[in-house]
Structure 1
């Protein structure tokens, strides 16, 4: 059987956007291309002139912003991109064997399914996250949150196959759709092995945060925990990488707590700078309440840097961290709880960094994204021959 013609539908594109989802979709496109599949990456235009270079076709179908000033996706942009997807796939409905569509936002799934209704195209919906009703209401307000929750409920019942980034998201899919058998994507191998990895660190200890400065990351809660941790490790510092709507509030809170001399707001940095900062840190601290996977934990582990994350029902990053192996899971973001995990990870020292490095190497080789693509293609071929 010939390799299938594939489309991937998502409104962000790496490296213009640097989140985990767009990195996953780009890598899937590359791996499918390497196997001989023609691939179209159907997305929104964020550039002037020609599309970015890639080993596959980049097909922009809409141009516009998707976030408001607070870093929240806007309903209007979701509707406009979904309409653009519908028009594209309606016009190209005979040209694809497999379509992988991101369910973020969920309207994408409806657009693709409606456009391809009656065709033989095998539709894979990828769920970066599955939220509960209360979480949708908190994120989008009472009315829009309720609507989004209902749309998610229906969308999970569509498509031929689901893919997810974590086991707990897979269990939520099965909770909504009995008999579903989602494929959990192996994502650790998105992070390449670092050739110069070392478990040695400098004398002055520092922690690092990497990510967008939005409410779900709970970055502000990291600052009082740092102050608490410094009562045990007096010279402990924090480097904050990234930016976002909460950057100003984070800076103000740092000043309020008297931490300006020990907190560095580095902003956005180059890949080389990020590598150096991660490789020199005693730990990555990611207090986020919500992560679809937590790729930054793997990026830190690639340079033997353990992580501190926070337990929570919507935090898949907590699945990646094993206490005393590659970091510690704090029970909450309360200063004492988070500080305790931070102190543990720093005082564990080089033995923890060695076990973190070993964990990364084992996970990277045990189950990668290539194996996940094998599962997707096997499901597609089974459907074609049944």
Structure 2
């Protein structure tokens, strides 16, 4: 088969869970003997084009910054969608399948517009489906536009993949025009190495972008509360973003500068060591399409803590007391209480996390989802 994979980013020029998924998918399908073309946005220098074994990479839009103030810009997705539309108008008949991501939506709409003319099938990965309320919070009075575009994408005839039960239910509610497959595996196997005991003093780790929906200031407030019971508690907050000044301000206001460090983005080896030695890894985000951090923590035998929220699919990956905890309600006090439970259970919780991961590793691995997709194409 000739399969066209469509995503505006390419790993490792852009780093993220979806980027890793599409690169791994392209390489797997090529290894299976399929002819694979990857449409993306230019992200590399002209003298150093990317090369994937068995994969033809075609940039259909110019390099552009994807984010501004922590939010996706509208111009790059529009440009990418137009590039996909013009490419498929010229070459779409050569493809048997166009496999893409629902977001950014314009590429899916472009593929849907030409589907009948070109005769290809559409396979679409839905990592997230945003609610009306979230669109309103994200775009204000223009939120209805985002909701409408998302709903139109569901009307495109397709075979859909989802990676959480939350978004499977939401896609059903959108009355998807097609079938839905649930693929829970997105985690890469961790770097080799034995599990490590938690460092002393006990240290919490956060790793990710510092944007409003990640709610890192909430974690800072929870640490201040938890330190009233465990004064030796420390934290390392990895990452940067537009919300970092607010994080720094809360640390200063709560007099935690000697106990919380902000190293920014660091080398992978440094982050890996910190994760393995952490008391727990905390993700206080109100919105997660999957919750990869939970699996990544569990793979290192380290419990994870997340917060309950309507748009947070990460809670599906937590078995409280087995591989972490869920702060519910999503307040600083509730989050502090879960931190204290992690301190209290100590090595026992790490052992339980190791057992949980052993029982769920294959189901949640990216390899399990790649096998399922590969088998579907073979069939």
Greater shift in the superposed pair: 4-13 or 224-233: 4-13
- Asked whether the equivalents of residues 229 and 342 of structure 1 are also in contact (C-alpha less than 8 Å), the reply is yes
Q: Is 2:32 aligned against 1:40?
A: no
Q: Could you tell me which residue of structure 2 aligns to residue 250 of structure 1?
A: 247
Aligned length: 377
- Asked whether the equivalents of residues 101 and 112 of structure 1 are also in contact (C-alpha less than 8 Å), the reply is no
- Asked whether the equivalents of residues 362 and 368 of structure 2 are also in contact (C-alpha less than 8 Å), the reply is no
Greater shift in the superposed pair: 95-104 or 307-316: 95-104
- Asked whether the equivalents of residues 174 and 180 of structure 1 are also in contact (C-alpha less than 8 Å), the reply is no
Q: Could you tell me which residue of structure 2 aligns to residue 235 of structure 1?
A: 232
- Asked whether the equivalents of residues 185 and 368 of structure 1 are also in contact (C-alpha less than 8 Å), the reply is no
Q: Is 2:117 aligned against 1:102?
A: no
Q: Distance in 2 between matches of 1:105 and 1:87?
A: 17
Q: Is 2:43 aligned against 1:18?
A: no
Q: Could you tell me which residue of structure 2 aligns to residue 186 of structure 1?
A: 184
Q: TM-score, normalised by structure 1?
A: 0.92
- Asked whether the equivalents of residues 197 and 279 of structure 1 are also in contact (C-alpha less than 8 Å), the reply is no
Q: Which runs of 5+ in 2 are unaligned?
A: none
- Asked whether the equivalents of residues 8 and 29 of structure 1 are also in contact (C-alpha less than 8 Å), the reply is yes
| Secondary structure of 2:336's aligned partner | helix
Q: Could you tell me which residue of structure 1 aligns to residue 49 of structure 2?
A: 51
| Secondary structure of 1:8's aligned partner | strand
Q: Which runs of 5+ in 1 are unaligned?
A: none
| Secondary structure of 1:84's aligned partner | helix
Cα distance, 1:27–1:233 mapped onto 2, change above 3 Å: same
Q: Could you tell me which residue of structure 2 aligns to residue 355 of structure 1?
A: 352
Q: Distance in 1 between matches of 2:360 and 2:180?
A: 20
State the 1:207 CA deviation.
0.4
Cα distance, 1:112–1:260 mapped onto 2, change above 3 Å: same
Q: Distance in 1 between matches of 2:206 and 2:193?
A: 22
Tell me which of 279, 282, 300 is aligned to 2:279. Answer: 282
Aligned pairs for 1:281-300 (under 5 A) are 281-300=278-297
Aligned pairs for 1:148-297 (under 5 A) are 148-177=146-175, 181-188=179-186, 190-297=187-294
Q: Is 2:323 aligned against 1:334?
A: no
Q: Could you tell me which residue of structure 2 aligns to residue 87 of structure 1?
A: 86
| Secondary structure of 1:277's aligned partner | helix
Q: Is 2:91 aligned against 1:129?
A: no
Greater shift in the superposed pair: 289-298 or 64-73: 64-73
Q: TM-score, normalised by structure 2?
A: 0.94
CA displacement, residues 94-132 of structure 1 (integer Å, 9 cap, x when unaligned): 222121111111122101112333233110111111011
